């Protein structure tokens, strides 16, 4: 093996997978070497014919003192160069026939990947083998450096490194160091073996293993993954130490034991598989006895996605937990803790450009204790969807057809078989300055009530509803700014909708709800989601949109939208318990999105009731982001009907070259209560980084919980602790929106 190859393989191992299987993500998410001094660059390849199998070796020196049977004794600025490899020393004995060299005094070896120096070396350019004594090496491309007492290339495929020490810290610093007394590399089997491996952090050993077996490239290898640590008021100290099992090229497993001091030992695991046509994952977790809850607890998640052929797909998911407090007690992230239901489904789908077909069975496990059984979502056993549309690229009339056939079931509740059909036809007139699109649809829906039907009630219900709409808009634009460097648009839009009233008060609700009114709902043909209600309408939506664009690149600096609906008749179709709506006008809804420059952006939204002359909804947000990983967000949300007033402040900001601070404060002004807050510090040096975050939040049951997370990243090696990137990205808008230039 080539000596540079040996060191590169060893360093690749140490830099990515020696102790922990898999390459962990960076702690902070930007150029992790930004604070490092530049490493010595690799010399450029020489002009020697690198493309040949055995490129010639060129030797230069100040003095040639002998030449016998091809062997020369050279002194003073001696250099032996072969393609991109270069060996230099004060003195060198070189045999041009055998390729052997014996170098003494300030020995330097370099290639495109490595820089190496030491007091002496024996190297054979013909076989790329040899011995380097007391070697100091650096790997500029990996920001790594280290030492080896002896680096011995035994033959083409076998190498031995003795007393190796490796770090990514700059010269003169040894904040962390990986130590391996011996290491064997076997390229024939793509395997490396090390013994008595330790990691020191500021001189304190933090990891030791008596034996390690690892791959010499990026292939997966069994081994420990980075452990995760945390602390919570409810759970105590929480430690997870995963172990990865590389079972086969197309499937693997991870054992995930978790020690929770206040609850017990949780035995978890993950199994993944990948074939030519499918991929899937199985997650298991079992806590034999939760000391606080005094019960056994568990989790099972399974998912699979299989391509059955051209355009055909089958996917399934099954999710289960032992009790509805599982995520509250054992969840390790805000998103998991906020889970309210677990979906199970099996779906077969066929998809083309213009046609979509799917059929599935679907069920839910509700895990939110505040949701009563009467509000559990219905099972769909099964649900079949079919939709088709004509090619939108073709001129002339456009046609579409949407349909659904679904069987609703739920224990001790009314069940039904529902068929919903909706053919649509439309035609668009217009050009770049205007458009006018009349459309007509017919919605035919039937219900066959077949479970827990009240005595004397009918079992068959139907509804036939025509839907007519006229959509039109104009586009105006003009140059703006002193030198015409901006373009302002004005886009008025009218949308008329007519749907006759059909009495639907006897139709039960299976999956239908009424969403929050918004600007987008000005232009929909049904104010409800789901087929159990088709809203009656005789109304005209009028809206105005204006944009300010940069004339040079078309980027949008400002968008402002405002609109309202004028009702020409009452809306009699409502959800149960809601009276018909008689107002002549809807709320006025508007949005403004402003990008002042590359650093500042702001948004504002408001929903104003003209009858009460009060604001029903409002939100405002401001973001300042002058550079990557520097962001401040301030937001305010108001909902009059829910009596909600909330402020939300979040930030990530550097305090110095190495220190930065992160935080969030979500405050309920109305109830004078902090809903969630966290604060933490990040320290980022050249070769390691550390994060610690303290979080306090209100659970769904109204209790307050506090957690402490930390993460230590030894750059180029591994990450220890709880990975906080996802948590911070969810809590701080813009935390990692862009990629720092490398």
DSSP letters, 597-623, are: SSSEEEEEEEEEETTTTEEEEEEEEEE
User: Residue 433 is encoded by which pair of tokens?
Assistant: 């300055």
pLDDT above 70 (res 335): no
Q: Which CATH class is domain 3-53+112-217?
A: mainly beta
Q: What is the DSSP string of 422-452?
A: EEEEE--EEETTEEEEEEEEEEEEEEEEEES
User: Residue 146 is encoded by which pair of tokens?
Assistant: 């280290």
What sign for the dihedral angle of Cα 350, 351, 355, 358?
positive
Count CB neighbours of 388 within 10 A. Answer: 15
Between 228 and 313, the higher pLDDT residue = 313
At 280 the pLDDT is 96
Confidence of residue 186 (pLDDT cuts 50, 70, 90): confident
At 381 the pLDDT is 94
Question: Could you report the per-residue pLDDT of 258-302, keeping only the tens digit for each?
Answer: 999 999 999 999 999 999 999 999 999 999 999 999 999 999 999
Q: Which of 220-234, 358-372, 593-607 has the lowest mean pLDDT?
A: 220-234
At 217 the pLDDT is 58
Please count the residues of the chain.
742
Count CB neighbours of 292 within 10 A. Answer: 13
User: What is the rounded distance in angstroms from the CA atom of residue 187 to the CA atom of residue 691?
Assistant: 38
Note whether 89 and 104 are within 8 A (CB): yes
SS3 336: helix
Confidence of residue 44 (pLDDT cuts 50, 70, 90): low
**What residue spans define the domains of the chain?**
3-53+112-217, 344-587
At 57 the pLDDT is 84
Rounded percentage of the chain residues whose pLDDT exceeds 90: 52
Q: Which of 539, 582, 547 is nearest to 564 (CA)?
A: 539
User: What is the rounded distance in angstroms from the CA atom of residue 197 to the CA atom of residue 178?
Assistant: 7
Mean pLDDT of 193-199: 86
Note whether 608 and 631 are within 8 A (CB): no
pLDDT above 70 (res 641): yes
Mapped to the 3 state alphabet, what secondary structure does 359-381 carry? EEEEEEEECCCCCCHHHCCCEEE
> What is the CA angle 408-414-415, rounded to 5?
25
pLDDT above 50 (res 341): yes
Between 562 and 340, the higher pLDDT residue = 562
Mode of pairing for the β-strands spanning 251-260 and 264-274:
antiparallel
CA dihedral 693, 696, 701, 703 (to 10 degrees): 130
Question: Could you report the per-residue pLDDT of 506-516, keeping only the tens digit for each?
Answer: 999 999 999 99
pLDDT above 50 (res 250): yes
Note whether 224 and 21 are within 8 A (CB): yes
Q: Which of 78-92, 254-268, 300-314 has the lowest mean pLDDT?
A: 78-92
SS3 278: strand
Mean pLDDT of 107-135: 84
User: What is the rounded distance in angstroms from the CA atom of residue 165 to the CA atom of residue 145?
Assistant: 9
Mean pLDDT of 733-741: 59
Q: Which long-range contacts (CB under 8 A, 24 or more apart) does 340-344 make?
A: 340/366, 340/367, 340/368, 340/371, 341/365, 341/366, 341/367, 341/368, 341/377, 342/366, 342/367, 343/317, 343/319, 344/317, 344/318, 344/319, 344/320
Considering the entire predicted model, what is its pTM?
0.78
At 522 the pLDDT is 97
- Consecutive H or E run containing 329: helix 326-330
Q: Which of 194-198, 320-324, 513-517, 537-541 has the lowest mean pLDDT?
A: 194-198
Q: What is the DSSP string of 3-16?
A: HHHHHHHHHHHHHH
User: Residue 216 is encoded by which pair of tokens?
Assistant: 């010499």
Distances (CA, A) of 469 to 20, 402, 540: 61, 17, 10
Question: Could you report the per-residue pLDDT of 565-604, keeping only the tens digit for each?
Answer: 999 999 999 999 999 999 999 999 999 999 988 899 999 9
Count CB neighbours of 716 within 10 A. Answer: 25
Confidence of residue 42 (pLDDT cuts 50, 70, 90): low
Mean pLDDT of 410-437: 94
User: Residue 106 is encoded by which pair of tokens?
Assistant: 């300030």
Q: Which of 257, 192, 194, 190 is nearest to 227 (CA)?
A: 257
At 313 the pLDDT is 97
At 129 the pLDDT is 81
Q: What share of the chain is helix, strand, coil (3-state, %, to 5)?
A: 5, 60, 35
User: What is the rounded distance in angstroms from the CA atom of residue 653 to the CA atom of residue 645?
Assistant: 27
Distances (CA, A) of 679 to 654, 708, 732: 14, 10, 11
User: What is the rounded distance in angstroms from the CA atom of residue 355 to the CA atom of residue 428?
Assistant: 21
SS3 32: coil
Query: CB within 8 A of 455, min separation 6: which ones?
Result: none
Note whether 614 and 640 are within 8 A (CB): yes
User: Residue 391 is encoded by which pair of tokens?
Assistant: 């090619």
Query: CB within 8 A of 241, min separation 6: which ones?
Result: 224, 227, 257
Q: Which of 198-207, 297-306, 341-350 has the lowest mean pLDDT?
A: 198-207
User: What is the rounded distance in angstroms from the CA atom of residue 113 to the CA atom of residue 138?
Assistant: 9
Mean pLDDT of 641-648: 93
Question: Could you report the per-residue pLDDT of 452-495, keeping only the tens digit for each?
Answer: 787 667 789 999 999 999 999 999 999 998 888 899 999 999 99
Mean pLDDT of 523-552: 96
User: What is the rounded distance in angstroms from the CA atom of residue 440 to the CA atom of residue 310?
Assistant: 34
pLDDT above 70 (res 29): no
Distances (CA, A) of 1 to 7, 100, 164, 316: 10, 15, 18, 49
User: What is the rounded distance in angstroms from the CA atom of residue 406 to the CA atom of residue 446?
Assistant: 11
Note whether 409 and 448 are within 8 A (CB): no
User: What is the rounded distance in angstroms from the CA atom of residue 512 to the CA atom of residue 406?
Assistant: 13
User: Residue 272 is encoded by which pair of tokens?
Assistant: 């993944």
User: What is the rounded distance in angstroms from the CA atom of residue 360 to the CA atom of residue 155?
Assistant: 60
pLDDT above 80 (res 656): yes
Q: What mean pLDDT is reported for the chain?
A: 86
Displacement of CA 92 from its chain's centroid (Å): 55
């Amino acid at each position: 093996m080539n000596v540079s190859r040996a060191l590169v393989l060893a360093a690749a191992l140490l830099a990515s997978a020696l102790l922990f299987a898999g390459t962990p993500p960076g702690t902070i998410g930007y150029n992790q070497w930004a604070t490092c001094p530049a490493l010595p660059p690799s010399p450029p390849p020489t002009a020697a014919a690198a493309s040949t199998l055995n490129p010639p070796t060129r030797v230069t020196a100040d003095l040639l003192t002998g030449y016998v049977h091809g062997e020369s004794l050279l002194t003073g600025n001696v250099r032996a160069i072969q393609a991109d490899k270069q060996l230099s020393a004060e003195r060198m004995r070189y045999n041009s026939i055998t390729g052997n060299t014996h170098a003494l005094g300030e020995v330097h070896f370099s290639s495109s990947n490595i820089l190496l120096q030491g007091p002496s070396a024996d190297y054979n350019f013909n076989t790329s083998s040899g011995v380097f004594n007391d070697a100091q090496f650096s790997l500029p491309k990996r920001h790594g450096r280290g030492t080896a007492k002896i680096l011995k290339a035994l033959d083409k495929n076998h190498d031995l490194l003795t007393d190796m020490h490796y770090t990514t810290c700059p010269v003169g610093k040894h904040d962390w160091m990986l130590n391996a007394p011996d290491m064997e590399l076997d390229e024939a089997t793509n395997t490396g073996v090390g013994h008595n491996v330790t990691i020191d952090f500021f001189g304190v050993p933090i990891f030791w293993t008596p034996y390690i077996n690892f791959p010499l490239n990026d292939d997966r290898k069994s081994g420990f993954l980075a452990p995760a640590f945390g602390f919570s008021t409810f759970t105590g100290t929480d430690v997870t130490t995963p172990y990865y099992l590389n079972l086969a090229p197309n499937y693997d497993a991870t054992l995930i034991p978790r020690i929770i001091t206040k609850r017990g030992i949780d035995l978890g695991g993950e199994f993944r598989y990948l074939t030519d046509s499918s991929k899937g994952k199985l997650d298991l977790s079992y806590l034999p006895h939760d000391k606080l809850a005094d019960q056994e607890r568990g989790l099972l998640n399974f998912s699979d996605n299989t391509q059955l052929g051209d355009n055909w797909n089958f996917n399934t998911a099954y999710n289960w937990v032992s009790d509805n407090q599982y995520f509250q007690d054992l969840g390790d992230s805000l998103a998991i803790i906020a889970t309210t239901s677990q979906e199970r489904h099996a779906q077969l789908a066929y998809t083309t450009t213009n046609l979509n077909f799917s059929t599935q069975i679907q069920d839910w496990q509700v895990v939110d204790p505040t949701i009563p059984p009467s509000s559990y979502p219905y099972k769909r056993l099964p649900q079949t969807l079919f939709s088709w549309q004509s090619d939108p690229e073709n001129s002339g009339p456009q046609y579409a057809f949407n349909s659904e056939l679904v069987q609703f079931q739920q224990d001790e509740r009314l069940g039904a078989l529902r068929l919903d059909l909706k053919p649509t036809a439309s035609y668009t007139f217009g050009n770049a300055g205007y458009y006018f699109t009349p459309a007509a649809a017919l919605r035919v829906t039937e219900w066959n009530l077949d479970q827990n039907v009240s005595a004397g009630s009918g079992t068959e219900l139907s509804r036939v509803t025509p839907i007519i709409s006229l959509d039109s808009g104009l586009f105006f634009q003009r140059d703006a700014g002193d030198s015409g460097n901006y373009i302002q648009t004005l886009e008025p839009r009218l949308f008329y909708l007519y749907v006759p009233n059909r009495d639907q008060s006897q139709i039960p609700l299976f999956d239908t709800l009424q969403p929050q009114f918004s600007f987008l709902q000005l232009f929909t043909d049904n104010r409800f989601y789901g087929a159990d209600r088709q809203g009656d309408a005789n109304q005209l939506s009028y809206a105005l949109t204006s944009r300010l664009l940069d004339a040079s690149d078309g980027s949008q600096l400002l968008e402002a939208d405002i609109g309202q609906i004028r009702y020409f008749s009452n809306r009699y179709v409502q959800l149960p318990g809601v009276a018909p709506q008689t107002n002549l006008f809807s709320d006025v809804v508007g949005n403004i999105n402003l990008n002042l420059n590359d650093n500042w952006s702001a948004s504002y939204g408001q929903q104003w009731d003209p009858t009460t002359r009060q604001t029903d909804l409002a939100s405002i947000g401001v973001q300042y982001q002058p550079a990557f990983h520097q962001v401040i967000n301030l937001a305010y949300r108001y909902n009059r009907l829910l009596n909600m007033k909330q402020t939300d402040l979040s930030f990530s900001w550097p305090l110095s070259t190495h220190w930065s601070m992160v935080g969030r404060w979500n405050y309920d002004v109305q109830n004078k209560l902090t809903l969630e807050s966290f604060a933490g510090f990040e320290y980022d040096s050249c070769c390691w980084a550390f994060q610690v975050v303290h979080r306090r939040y209100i659970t769904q049951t109204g209790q307050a919980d506090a957690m402490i997370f930390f993460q230590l990243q030894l750059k180029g090696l591994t990450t220890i602790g709880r990975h906080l990137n996802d948590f911070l990205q969810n809590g701080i808008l813009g935390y990692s929106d862009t990629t720092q230039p490398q």
